[in-house]
Amino acid sequence: MRRPIVAGNWKANLTAGEAAALVRQLKASCETAAAEVVVCPPFTALAAVAPLLKGSRIALGAQDVFWEPAGAFTGEVTPPMLRDAGCQYVIVGHSERRTHFGETDQIVRRKLQAALAHGLTPIVCIGETLAQREAGQTFDILTRQLDGALGDCPPETCRRLILAYEPVWAIGTGKNATPEQAQEAHQAIRRWVADRCGSSAGGGIRIQYGGSVTPANAASLLQQPDVDGALVGGASLKADAFSAIVKAAKTGAAAPHE
Ligand code: 13P
């Protein structure tokens, strides 16, 4: 059984004080959550949020990480720094980083390996653009991104990370993938993992869907057999909306894949 995992990616939003206020609201509403819940504030809010989450059901994640542990890399934040700040998770390879900051699959691979080496669980994002989907290239793109980021990883690695399918055309657009589109992509991603890392890794890996998830569409997306949670952007900035999405992810909603 795969436990659903719902993560909020706050992106470049909220000051430390605003982040703390949001977490105080979320703590109460996520107390009885069946799903695993993660919030990913901006770096500058991690220190304010971490102590508030102690003893709660919500885990802390970061939105990015550098691959070296320390050194002369101005502006970067390293895996030991994230651990020290209380993070258990880190998002790697978000499409906004790929698009705006030139992150390649090679960079994504270095980041996810560094995260794993320092005991962080990476949430590795992949997804196609609208032009790629319309050209019928969706599965080629997903395969290329998986090959690039994970291709030479040992099979055990696949057990220790989370994948997030985030079609670029669905991010921040209000146009989510249909449950059928999400299921089709997730099934293909799980098949890739099973082929490369064995059927037990394929059956066990959790794959989140991200892209305009709202309280209105969460249940139908999360009911899909290969959708194991959500990576939520805009709706994660509102306590009511995020809590409703968390509640839509019930344990057992995602049946084990055969
Ligand atoms: P939205 O939920 O705002 O579409 O963002 C999704 C996302 O990019 C999460 O990482």
pLDDT tens across 103-131, in order? 999 999 999 999 999 999 999 999 999 99
From 208, 212, 238, 245, give the residue whose CB has the most ligand 1 atoms within 8 Å, as the site to mutate: 212
* pLDDT at residue 232 in the model: 98
pLDDT tens across 212-231, in order? 999 999 999 999 999 999 99
* pLDDT at residue 251 in the model: 59
* pLDDT at residue 156 in the model: 83
160 vs 75, more confident? 75
Q: Which domains does the chain have, with CATH numbers?
A: 5-248 (3.20.20.70)
* pLDDT at residue 72 in the model: 98
Pairing of strands 121-126, 5-9: unpaired
> Distance between CA atoms of 55 and 72, rounded to whole angstroms?
35
pLDDT tens across 17-34, in order? 999 999 999 998 888 889
* pLDDT at residue 256 in the model: 39
237 pLDDT above the threshold of 50: yes
Category of 185 on φ-ψ map: left (φ > 0), alpha (ψ -120 to 50) or beta:
alpha
153 pLDDT above the threshold of 90: no
pLDDT tens across 243-257, in order? 999 999 975 444 433
Radius of gyration (C-alpha) of the chain in whole angstroms: 17
Verify whether residue 103 is a known catalytic residue: no
Query: Which pair of structure tokens corresponds to residue 39?
Result: 């919030």
Residue 235 near residue 213, CB atoms below 8 Å: yes
* pLDDT at residue 158 in the model: 84
152 pLDDT above the threshold of 80: no
State the distance from the centre of ligand 1 to the C-alpha of 72, rounded, in angstroms: 32
What pTM, to 2 d.p., does this model score?
A: 0.95
Mean pLDDT (the chain) is 94
Catalytic residue among 94, 96, 103, 128: 94
DSSP conformation letters of the chain: -PPPEEEEE--S---HHHHHHHHHHHHHHTTT-SSEEEEE--HHHHHHHHHHHTTSSEEEEES---SSSSSS-TT---HHHHHHTT-SEEEES-HHHHHHH---HHHHHHHHHHHHHTT-EEEEEE---HHHHHTT-HHHHHHHHHHHHHTTS-HHHHHT-EEEE--GGGTTTS-PPPHHHHHHHHHHHHHHHHHHH-HHHHHH-EEEEESS--HHHHHHHHTSTT--EEEESGGGGSHHHHHHHHHH--TTSSPPP-
* pLDDT at residue 257 in the model: 35
94 pLDDT above the threshold of 90: yes
Instruction: Name residue 11's amino acid.
Output: K
pLDDT interval class at 154 (50, 70, 90)? confident
Catalytic residue among 36, 103, 166, 186: 166
Residue 186 near residue 226, CB atoms below 8 Å: yes
Residues whose beta carbon lies within 6 Å of some atom of ligand 1: 9, 94, 166, 171-172, 210-213, 231-235
| Residues forming a β-bridge with 232 | 8
pLDDT tens across 39-92, in order? 999 999 999 999 999 999 999 999 999 999 999 999 999 999 999 999 999 999
State the distance from the centre of ligand 1 to the C-alpha of 71, rounded, in angstroms: 32
> Distance between CA atoms of 96 and 1, rounded to whole angstroms?
31
pLDDT tens across 184-196, in order? 999 999 999 999 9
